[in-house]
Structure 1
Amino acid sequence: MTQNTTFKKDILYWRFSAYGFLKNLRFFDPFMIIYLSGIGVSYTQIGVLYGIRKLVAFFLEVPTGILADKMGRKQSLSLAFLAYIISFLIIYLYPNFYLLILSFTFFGLAETLRSGTHKAIILSYLEIKGWEDQKADYFGHTRGWAQMGSAISSLVAGVLVFNTEHFNNIFLFSIVPYVINFFNIITYPKELNTGKASKKKKTESFNSEMLTALKNPHLIKVIGNSTTLASFLGAVKDFIQPIMATFALSLVFIKDIGSEHQRIGIVVGVLYFIIYFLNSTTSINAKKITKGFSDQPSYITVTLIAGLVVGICSGIFYEFNFVVLSLISFSLLYIIDSLRKPFIFSYIMDDTPSDMTTTFLSIQSFVSTIATAVLSFLFGYLADHFSIGEALVIVGIMLLVLYLTVLMFYHKNKKKS
């Protein structure tokens, strides 16, 4: 099929964008750590909960990847959103550690059912329309709308906390956009359910394709590049919330406005709105911003190292009580991650047959999941026994040294071959 120069913003473009926008209306996201620590859950236990959520996804990643191809992508996504809703209800109704484990288990199930599936739906649509060469730009746009959803969600969450003076209500309100998205998904066109060149996979087929991917050193390197920074951010991103809360309570000009919860609600909501708004703008304009980088592998490597460095700097600034600089550095970590994602996905997809798209995305998510789980456990423990700032520095340096060591051996072996 003849390739078009640009994609069109048709009705499915807006529905795909609406999916990401509604998915990210998680009103609890800006306050999860604040809420959990407020009901007596330690940072180590929070690390356990986050790790469990990822490990559930780890154990179910392969079967759910196959399930998406067997039962259909729309059905897989629909089940994911039902699992999310159950998770929200449990954490709202039963806020104690042991039942939180059940809530985070359902959340992990939802994450793995959703993982890579919607991307595969979009890829099928791009193939049908002949827009495969536009996938990096297209995903930048849809991710931009998702980030805008996070931005709006933060403001709404701040207002909800200010009005109710409670953090638990935001879990209940989060159900509404997920119900809307459920109906958005189940009414997608039938031809996107399996993909243009999709085939139902047996377990042995998946294992064969996984072995094929793991025999390709180039793809292993790309998967490593894509998962390192994402795993770091996934493990530590919510722990910026106590830093934001500290900043909120230090603002003299709002000290007479409402209760501590209300001040934290408004300030944290506004700060997250700024971060996500910048992320949204970055994602939509990622192609323009990165125009000067013709060498995609070098771009991925440079941005990974930069992301780890600013994460380390955020921890250092916080330890020396430069809270504003710490927050700015952490915001840069989000922005760098947003600049990377559309291009990493495009880079991987260029080397992946369309009929194993969902399976290959499951392999990538599989690696990212286990790495994030381990880092969540580690970060929670370090934050409890040292501080959040020191934990950022320790984990950041550890990953940076590990990545540079692996990169050195990779290039050394490449020269030999």
Structure 2
Amino acid sequence: MSPVINRFCLYGLLKNQRYFAAFWILAFLDKGMSFALIGTLMAFREISVIVMEIPTGAIADMLGRRWAMIVSHVAYVAAFLTFGFTTSTIAIFVAMFAFAIGEAFRTGTHKAIIFSWLKSQGREKEKTQIYGITRSWSQIGSAISVIIAAGMVFVLEDYSVIFWVSAIPAALNIINFLTYPRELDRSATPDKSRGKVMIRLWEATLSCFTSAKLRRPISESMGYEGMYNASKDYLQPLIQQMVLAIPLLTAWQTTQRTAVMIAVVYSLLYVLSSFASRYAGPISAFLGDEERAARWLWMAFGGTFVVLLLGTVTDWTGLAIVSFVVLAVLQNIWRPILVGRVANYADDAAMATVLSVESQVKSLGLAIIAPVLGFAVDRTPEPYQFAPIALFGIAISALALIPLGSDASPTSKVEEPTAASEA
């Protein structure tokens, strides 16, 4: 691979050194929060992202994508340090707002950097494959991070340290961005006029909803990504539930036993997810094309939630855990294919804006689903506490598989604004 692609992969490796990721819900439960409050915190993060994301995507397109990534990671460092050193609910919400700033500047922007570089090299057809490779390195980073995090939790029996230690790789990624080629810092259109920035923002955003070929994958992202991201962290209390139910490693404290089991399950999850991302391109080609692959993935998504329902209403907690692992694998096939579908119809100059719209819609889905799921889990009798997650997933999958009629011509794109439109 080229040195530039290696830097893209290094970004993913460092970005996913979020040592709290596999302990996120357990850490907040340890701070005295309920599932409903945790869901509200997640919704607050996503609403904050929604408010900021499209403008930051447009700013990244017009004023500098590389510097947008640097601002993003400065915000991450501030958020991680605050999470680690506070137990105040108000301070946690403030930290989550800083985290949302980081997400808003990052999402869509780095993918736009990748696609712009591929276009400059005449390699546009490799977008799903290359993005899948870079995403696979993100999953490798996650596999490494969960082992390190589990070790810290096992030794210290404290969740706080995994937050502030996460600030170190975020700071290292800032150095990585400074080594990116300078020509990737800006979009194809260097105009800095504030009026033209807003025109481009409006036109690119409007096209996401007026173009049928863009509207379909973006609306699917709201359901698929929103449901997956709202539910995936419930794997953590399920693992803890299994640890408490079986006489395994009883010489250790519950926190230590949970850390070991999380390390085992999440390491397997991330390794499988890495392979899934790497082979998303070949899987898409095998299934026919990206549109056909998406439909097959929706069916697999719904079927896995059926299995999850069986695991949550019986004593087969292991089956529920396996279901979450399968959902992660499916999502890591889905994501490169979804991004490829969106990129097929988005003009390069508006790419970060369009991808930010997609990410914003995904955030809206999570913001709607997360607090509802948290409330439902809190109110469901303990033996069936996690069944609402499966029921929501089944319902969303069924809705997504309903045909919506014919789409627009596959050649339609989000066009770069014309001179007349900018006048």
TM-score band by shorter chain is over 0.9
CA distance in 2: counterparts of 1:287 and 1:56, whole angstroms:
33
Task: Give the one of 392, 398, 402 matched to 2:399.
Answer: 402
1:47 alignment counterpart: 39
1:3 alignment counterpart: none
What is the aligned-residue RMSD (CA, Å)?
1.8
SS across alignment from 1:59? helix
Task: Give the one of 183, 201, 205 matched to 1:206.
Answer: 201
Task: Give the one of 268, 278, 294 matched to 2:262.
Answer: 268
Q: Residues 235-254 of structure 1: matches in 2 within 5 Å?
A: 235-254=230-249
Task: Give the one of 182, 189, 206 matched to 2:181.
Answer: 189
Residues 214, 412 of structure 1: alpha-carbon distance in 2 compared, 3 angstrom cutoff = closer
Task: Please list the CA deviations of residues 323-375 of structure 1 after superposition, one character each: whole Å capped at 9, or x if unmatched.
Answer: 11111111111111111121221222121111111111111112111111111
Is 2:310 the partner of 1:316? Answer: yes
Task: Please list the CA deviations of residues 50-97 of structure 1 after superposition, one character each: whole Å capped at 9, or x if unmatched.
Answer: 000000001111211122123311111111111111111111111222
CA distance in 1: counterparts of 2:50 and 2:64, whole angstroms:
21
C-alpha contact 1:310 1:329 (8 A) present in aligned 2: yes
CA distance in 2: counterparts of 1:356 and 1:170, whole angstroms:
37
Is 2:369 the partner of 1:375? Answer: yes
C-alpha contact 1:225 1:301 (8 A) present in aligned 2: no
Q: Give 1:259 deviation, angstroms.
A: 1.3
- Match for 1:235: what amino acid? A
C-alpha contact 2:208 2:215 (8 A) present in aligned 1: yes
CA distance in 1: counterparts of 2:105 and 2:250, whole angstroms:
44
CA distance in 1: counterparts of 2:30 and 2:344, whole angstroms:
46
2:417 alignment counterpart: none
Deviates more, 1:98-107 or 1:313-322: 313-322
- Match for 2:362: what amino acid? S
Task: Give the one of 154, 162, 179 matched to 2:146.
Answer: 154
Is 2:349 the partner of 1:355? Answer: yes
SS across alignment from 1:25? coil
- Match for 1:107: what amino acid? F
C-alpha contact 2:150 2:262 (8 A) present in aligned 1: yes
C-alpha contact 1:55 1:373 (8 A) present in aligned 2: yes
Residues 154, 300 of structure 1: alpha-carbon distance in 2 compared, 3 angstrom cutoff = same
CA distance in 2: counterparts of 1:362 and 1:40, whole angstroms:
34
Is 2:67 the partner of 1:75? Answer: yes
SS across alignment from 1:111? helix
Is 2:136 the partner of 1:136? Answer: no
Task: Give the one of 102, 110, 113 matched to 1:110.
Answer: 102
SS across alignment from 2:315? coil
Task: Give the one of 19, 22, 31 matched to 1:27.
Answer: 19
CA distance in 1: counterparts of 2:314 and 2:53, whole angstroms:
41
Q: State how many pairs are aligned.
A: 402
Q: Give 1:199 deviation, angstroms.
A: 5.2
Is 2:208 the partner of 1:216? Answer: no
C-alpha contact 2:36 2:378 (8 A) present in aligned 1: yes
Is 2:316 the partner of 1:344? Answer: no
Deviates more, 1:112-121 or 1:278-287: 278-287
SS across alignment from 2:286? coil
CA distance in 2: counterparts of 1:272 and 1:199, whole angstroms:
45
Deviates more, 1:102-111 or 1:209-218: 209-218
SS across alignment from 1:130? coil
Is 2:165 the partner of 1:180? Answer: no
SS across alignment from 1:254? coil
- Match for 2:391: what amino acid? I
CA distance in 2: counterparts of 1:159 and 1:278, whole angstroms:
21
Task: Give the one of 384, 387, 390 matched to 2:387.
Answer: 390
SS across alignment from 1:411? coil
C-alpha contact 1:158 1:270 (8 A) present in aligned 2: no
SS across alignment from 1:195? coil
Deviates more, 1:44-53 or 1:300-309: 300-309
Task: Please list the CA deviations of residues 268-302 of structure 1 after superposition, one character each: whole Å capped at 9, or x if unmatched.
Answer: 12211110010001111223344421143121022
1:229 alignment counterpart: 224
Task: Give the one of 95, 104, 121 matched to 2:113.
Answer: 121
Is 2:272 the partner of 1:278? Answer: yes
Is 2:358 the partner of 1:364? Answer: yes
Q: Give 1:388 deviation, angstroms.
A: 4.1
TM-score (norm 2): 0.91
CA distance in 2: counterparts of 1:89 and 1:331, whole angstroms:
29
C-alpha contact 2:36 2:374 (8 A) present in aligned 1: yes
CA distance in 1: counterparts of 2:135 and 2:245, whole angstroms:
34
CA distance in 1: counterparts of 2:237 and 2:151, whole angstroms:
19
Runs (5+) with no aligned partner, structure 1? 1-8
C-alpha contact 1:248 1:268 (8 A) present in aligned 2: no
CA distance in 2: counterparts of 1:184 and 1:335, whole angstroms:
28
C-alpha contact 2:225 2:365 (8 A) present in aligned 1: no
CA distance in 1: counterparts of 2:244 and 2:17, whole angstroms:
26
Deviates more, 1:385-394 or 1:110-119: 385-394
Task: Please list the CA deviations of residues 234-283 of structure 1 after superposition, one character each: whole Å capped at 9, or x if unmatched.
Answer: 11111110001112333424111x21111111111221111001000111
C-alpha contact 2:58 2:201 (8 A) present in aligned 1: yes
Deviates more, 1:360-369 or 1:224-233: 224-233
Q: Give 1:413 deviation, angstroms.
A: 9.4
- Match for 2:247: what amino acid? V
